[in-house]
Amino acid sequence: MTGRQIDDVLHDVFVRGARCRLLDTGTDGLPGDPAAPQWLLAELGDGRVTGACPRERWRRSDEEPTADLSAPALDPGTDRWRVLEVLVFGPHAQIRLGEGAENGWISADAPDAPDAPDHPLRPRDRSLLLLGWNGPDHSRTLPGAVPVSVTAEPSGAQAVLPVRWHDFSGRARPERGGRSALESTGTWLTVREYWAADSETGAVGVAFHRLTGLRTGTKPTGPEFDAGTGDLIQEADR
């Protein structure tokens, strides 16, 4: 990313409080998506700022009523030194600003990314469960047009999540062949998983993750596991 693009991203998110225009318009072969929701995860030297922008305006954790649980607001003009990492992302692309917001990168699917279901290097969508104590005394969604929740983490700390909260639960769902899949419901961080092959050994492994969103409800992606044996139920079998 250019210095001007970095400036514009910080200005959009932290000063204007409006949609990140770079994710809307795209750049250099990267398509934009002005209708897609956007999320923020900013790791600062003195804490974290999270946010969601499903339409026109951001709702960030450094604003009331969650300011006391968040790092203070970031002023891009005076305190970029606080930045460890800023991620602004949507389903189609992720912007990452590094320490001090001195450098920035945009990641998305390559135009020639393999998409055949059996291709070993095909990007895969995954979902990670966000942990919090169940029950309204510990984790709850706050009022407002843009969903934000406050949850008590297992460590005892409280976190502000830019998503509607749903307590975790699970049930056994019948599958073919007499198996039972463990169907989980909760609050999820979704990621896009990119694979690569070692040029010398041919070994294949995960090389990079890109954040794609936050979701509430039934686990939105595979893999799933047999509730009785713990064996992996392949995605092709779902």
- Predicted pLDDT of residue 235: 61
- Predicted pLDDT of residue 236: 47
Distance CA 38, CA 45 (A): 23
Token output for 37: 């929701």
Distance CA 190, CA 105 (A): 19
Q: How many residues does the chain have?
A: 238
Per-run averaged pLDDT (10 residues), the chain, 238 residues: 96 97 90 94 96 96 95 95 98 97 93 80 91 84 94 84 92 80 90 90 90 94 78 60
Q: What angle do CA 38, 40, 45 make, to 5 degrees?
A: 170
Distance CA 137, CA 203 (A): 47
